[in-house]
Structure 1
């Protein structure tokens, strides 16, 4: 599931370097940046990374887009 932040950036889970999963944002210009937060560390499980994002999105009232 993907979300929109308050600035209109898409937030989603993806692989980073190696086999670690993290949360990233895509800016309106198409740039890809890691969302660095203690609540969303890089981890080996995609499901766990998505759960972290879902909780963070709920707490921050982000809009679900997919």
Structure 2
């Protein structure tokens, strides 16, 4: 789960559809990646950071919060 990324998306009005279009992947793929079912590739993560969040740190945006057991 990428809570920081999702919070920043809301703050800036960036939709999941925007990410899907930018990365040329299905909308469902973005949902799966944001929920932590699959990871973003390094290339995808850099594209997101550079296009939408150039002033934020990579570490902050893609910090993951694991579900507690």
> Which TM class, normalised by the smaller chain length?
0.3 to 0.5
TM-score by length of 2: 0.32
In proportion to residue count, which structure has more helix? Answer: 2
Q: How high is the TM-score relative to the length of structure 1?
A: 0.33
- Which is strand-richer, 1 or 2? 1
The structure whose RCO (Cα within 8 Å, separation 6+) is larger is 2
